[in-house]
Structure 1
């Protein structure tokens, strides 16, 4: 049982941190209902701004009666950015693993912001591509929204977790072999 102690404590820390974070985030979102919360607005504004910067003729409007922001492209509805689209819960999932796994605090000071930035950039790319897919390739929207981009983002988070584990790997003492003469 002793050999499982670190794993059990990791799972308990992970579960507790994730549960607390999810509850707090749920309370935060509920406070703004029926309009979009500030994180969702921020995400939608950035998606809109990046698309404008890239030359897309986009418009955005708050969704009537829903806590989301609609983005239109080519005068057609493209996507609605809801709280689940803002990437915050993905960043929390990433953060909770890093904190639960523990490790060098100095490394955390650069690794956590880097992870957040990677997740944010991937999420923005996802939203922009989903807007394009929704308008120009609508029949593929479900696959790309539900499976393709979800797999990519969770895969990247998993790779970030592996990277963190390797950065904090403790070196086991090298055992010198006695030479047989």
Structure 2
């Protein structure tokens, strides 16, 4: 049993953190999304859509984000064409929860864990907004490639970024190194 102590501690810390953060997030979603006749996305999802619009506008595209009237999502309309939608799963919060749970499970000093969780979460959020912006343009220009872009290329970007952060964390800051 002593031989598996570090694995058991990792799993306990990971799952306790994960379920605590997921519970908080789900409570937030229940209070911030409406479905009964009026569709409204959570404010974080709307913010991601709005920031995606700002990125694309910066690059010269005519883009707008419009609350979908038939589902809980925000439509991204590029050059007058409904191209993509941002749903709750696109706002990166679920991925940030997974990231933070791993960081805490392999914790380092409190300061290092706290700062890496904050800055890593910001990095993931920014990469996600840029990923959605790029995906929107690619779907607009190459709609026939939607499946490959949405299902393969773009998950690889965000999961790859998270994996790299985890590698840096474990090798540079976690107590595992010590």
Q: Same fold (TM over 0.5)?
A: yes
Match of 2:72 among 58, 63, 67: 67
3-state secondary structure, aligned to 2:84: strand
Asked whether the 8 Å contact 2:72–2:87 carries over to 1, the reply is: yes
Deviations 1:65-89 (Å, cap 9, x if unpaired)?
A: 3221111112111111111001111
Question: Counterpart in 2 of 1:9?
Answer: 9
Deviation at 1:139, TM superposition (A): 1.2
Tell me which residue corresponds to 1:105.
Answer: 110
Work out whether residues 135 and 154 of structure 2, in 8 Å CA contact, stay in contact via their aligned partners in 1.
no
Larger Rg: 1
TM-score by length of 1: 0.88
Residue 33 (1) aligns with residue 34 (2): yes
- Does the Cα contact within 8 Å between 2:42 and 2:88 map onto a contact in 1? yes
CA-to-partner distance for each residue in 1:84-122, whole Å, 9 max, x for gaps?
001111111111111121111221243122211221121
1:151 matches 2:156: yes
Distance 1:59 1:166, change over 3 A: same
Shift of 1:136: 1.0
User: What is the TM-score of this pair, normalised by structure 2?
Assistant: 0.89
Q: How many residues align?
A: 172
Shift, 1:23, TM fit = 2.5
Paired residues of 2:171 and 2:177 also in contact (CA < 8 A): no
Gaps of 5+ in 2: none
The range that moved more, 103-112 or 115-124, is: 103-112
What is the 5 A alignment of 1:1-181? 1-31=1-31, 32-34=33-35, 35-167=40-172, 168-169=174-175
Residue ranges of structure 1 left out of the alignment (5+ in a row): 173-181
